[in-house]
Chains A and B, each alone.
Chain A
Amino acid sequence: MKKINISRKNLSIPYMIYMVCFVVAPLAVLLFYSFTDSDGKITFHNFINFFTDGNTLGTLLYSVVVALITTLVCLIIAYPVAFILAKGHIKNKTILLMIFIMPMWINFTLRITALKEILTFFEKNLAYFPFVNTIIGMTYDFLPFMILPIYTVLINIDDCYMEAGLDLGADKVQAFMKIILPMSKAGIISGVTMVFLPAMTNYVILDMLYNSTYIMGSLIGSYFSAYDWHNGSMISIILLTIIIIVTVLSTDSNHKEERL
């Protein structure tokens, strides 16, 4: 018997096998299921269904709107916070950063429960403001994911750029708009992807806050409960396509930044 060679590069084999079995194969099965019916025949029915049904298109539109507004609100709150933490004249910046990031490590369902109690206290009945509550819930959940990447980029921008701008006659606002903001674009983009994509799929936040409108994730959840694997697969594939497009667009524009 030939001795098995345990050289360093052969160590990649188990990982490769695992990833092919449990990442590539499941997605391939989803693709197959989304274009077949329950008899195993190839059909485009699921696909056409999604793009002709008013309900599913409405869901797609609603999740894009929820995700866009959540992302915008997160960005408006997170940028000043990240900027102050990175460049502000305050003490104990690293400890403060930790405090802003810490909620990431507390189970999100428990945090949403806490938020729900507060919202119930103020609004008496959560059903009156489902959309607003959803945005508040998602912002509450995803905010650290927007703060961290923006902070990471800002902390690495040398203060000399800002000072040079000021020396050359720009006022503080101009220097910020023309120097710091463009230089922090990479952080904004990665923060936006980290908030936008989960905001389209995390339907538990809507469920817990009594918003009965569906987002894309809820469709998968409801097909799962109805044992409808073919339509569920189709929604998954459509979501995956959206995710790939958003990711490619964002890494693309980041690469362009690097080249400049």
Chain B
Amino acid sequence: MKRYIQYGILSVVLLFMYFPILLLVVYSFTDSTTIGAIRGFSFHNYVTLFTTKELLDMIAGTLLLALISALIATVLGTVGAIGSFYSKKKVRIFLDGINQVPIINADVVTGFSICVLLIIVFGMNKNSFIPLVVGHVTLCAPFVYTSVMPKLKQLDNSLYEAALDLGCTPKEALIKIIIPQIVPGIFSGFVLAVTLSLDDYFITTYTKPATFDTISTYVVNATRGAQTNIKTALWALSTLIFLVVIAAVCFMNFHNKRGEELDNR
């Protein structure tokens, strides 16, 4: 294939993937309420976004939920992966199998099943936030487990044994030898957990307290409503999230490159 055809194909697909978002970015800086005629440059969407308490609470709630769930999921998934890796083969196969269930299962089913167990069977109060956090942890922990596991497989077991020979207790050897070597896996698991929690709609809907909203559930309700100032304020939110994601990707790229350079030295 000629080079310009290749660039052509990539550009057309990128246009499809980014045109809607970029258009919202442009329109978020105007007074327009629909895509079409541009009606004057203004920051009023950003002012609305940062002065409406409902919106700020919703964003803060989403971030807090993502952080808490990701932290719990990271601890649980990491410890689980270490335990599973050093267990008997039968236990490990069992855990690997169970771990796949939430990964391949539809979020709708996962959310509904946790809702039925905790809220219907055990009569737990939704307002306690426990079903919501349990739902998000169940969604995220298996992905942490699968990102830590390959790092454990790469480990050199003689280091751990050397530590034991030199007088470490198993607990010390675990903290000082094993954990530091799997940090990249733990970190990427954590990042994945945060993004999964931020993106989730279904588990949140089935387990959340009636008055609590994450970005996903809020946006879906907002598209049903007719409040145009909220709708356009969400364009501003999309713009900010888009910028944050670009920044994060650039940072990770830069970080990886530096890491590679250090490795090459």
Contact = CB atoms under 8 A, between A and B. Distances in A.
Contacts of A232: 112, 116
Given A8-B82, A220-B109, A109 B237 contact: no
A24 B112 CA distance: 13
B79 A15 contact: yes
Contacts of A236: 108-109, 112-113
B24 A247 contact: no
A182 interface: no
Contacts of A52: none
B13 A6 contact: no
B20 A9 contact: no
A179 interface: no
Given A233-B116, A236-B112, A107 B84 contact: no
Contact of A109 (B24, B106, B141, B219): B219
Contact of A117 (B23, B105, B110, B120): B23
Interface stretch (A54-62, A91-99, A127-135, A152-160): A91-99
B105 A243 contact: yes
Contact of B234 (A113, A120, A140): A113
A84 B10 contact: yes
B105 A15 contact: no
Interface stretch (A26-34, A41-49, A161-169, A252-260): A26-34
Given A9-B86, A108-B199, A18 B21 contact: no
B101 A110 contact: no
* Majority secondary structure of chain B interface residues (helix, strand, loop or mixed): helix
Interface stretch (B38-46, B49-57, B91-99, B181-189): B91-99
Contact of B138 (A22, A77, A106, A220): A22
A89 B20 contact: no
Contacts of A90: 3, 6-7, 10
A190 to B, nearest CB: 11
A83 B104 CA distance: 26
A11 interface: yes
Contacts of A1: none
Interface residues of A, number: 79
A208 interface: yes
B23 A114 contact: yes
Contacts of B71: none
B149 interface: no
Given A29-B116, A236-B113, A109 B23 contact: no
Nearest to A24: B98
A24 B138 CA distance: 11
A207 B201 CA distance: 13
B46 to A, nearest CB: 15
Interface in B86-140: 86-88, 91, 94-95, 98-99, 101-102, 104-110, 112-117, 120-121, 134, 137-138
Contacts of B104: 193, 197, 243-244, 247
Contact of B112 (A18, A108, A116, A224): A224
Contacts of B60: none
A2 to B, nearest CB: 17
B134 to A, nearest CB: 6
Nearest to A114: B20
Contacts of A229: 116, 120
Nearest to B98: A19
Interface in A137-159: 140, 143
A100 B201 contact: no
Contact of A239 (B16, B109, B145, B195): B109
B79 A11 contact: yes
Interface in A205-240: 207-208, 217, 220-221, 224, 229, 232-233, 236, 239-240
Nearest to A31: B113
5 contacts: A8-B86, A18-B76, A19-B99, A22-B114, A114-B20
Interface of A: 6-16, 18-20, 22-27, 29-30, 33, 77, 80-81, 84-85, 88-90, 94-96, 98-100, 102-111, 113-118, 120-121, 140, 143, 193, 197-198, 200-201, 203-204, 207-208, 217, 220-221, 224, 229, 232-233, 236, 239-240, 243-244, 247
Interface of B: 1, 3, 6-7, 9-10, 13-14, 16-21, 23-24, 27, 34-36, 76-77, 79-88, 91, 94-95, 98-99, 101-102, 104-110, 112-117, 120-121, 134, 137-138, 141, 145, 170-171, 174, 178, 195, 198-199, 201-202, 205-206, 215-216, 219-220, 223, 234, 237-238, 241-242, 245-246, 248-249, 253
